[in-house]
Amino acid sequence: MNVLFDTGSANLIVPSAKCSSVACFLHAKYSSDYSSTYVANGAPVTLQYRTSNLTGILSTDTLTIGGIARIKNQTFTEYTREPGLAFAYTKYDAVLGLAFQALAIDNV
């Protein structure tokens, strides 16, 4: 999965295998079915990212970055709907927000 490291946001958002929006068809997707470390949360979440309102659920899993860093119990937004085309033509699949915690939506 290609990830954008974004200093202007503070949330981790990934497209879900449960997503049927156009943008999701064009990108790699996260599926909890293939993870032995997935912890169901399921809390609904809506967040605005740039020009799009993403809706989805909160999920928790082990995050691996570049095959090197492993972060256990990372909660993130698994988006299931992206109504616009903001993500459709990007070269990245997910966004890892690196900004201050105060900017995180729902403190995630």
Contact partners, residue 12, CB within 8 Å, separation at least 6 = 63, 74, 76, 77, 94, 95, 96, 97, 108
Per the CB < 8 A criterion, the answer to whether 10 and 103 are in contact is yes
Q: Find the mean pLDDT for residues 76-93.
A: 87
Please report whether residue 38 resides in a domain. yes
How far is it, in rounded angstroms, from Cα 81 to Cα 46? 10
Average confidence score pLDDT of the chain? 89
CA distances from 60 to 10, 36, 88, 105 (A): 16, 11, 25, 16
Asked if residue 86 is part of any domain, the answer here is no
Tell me the residue length of the chain.
108
What's the CA gap between 42 and 51, in Å, rounded? 24
User: What's this model's pTM, rounded to 2 decimal places?
Assistant: 0.88
- Look at residue 106 and tell me if it is in a domain: no
CA 67 to chain CA centroid, Å, is: 18
- For residue 60, the enclosing domain spans 3-81+93-100
Q: What is the pLDDT of residues 40-78, one digit of tens each?
A: 998 999 987 767 788 999 999 999 988 888 899 999 999
- The number of distinct structural domains making up the chain is 1
We report the CATH number of the domain holding residue 28 as: 2.40.70.10
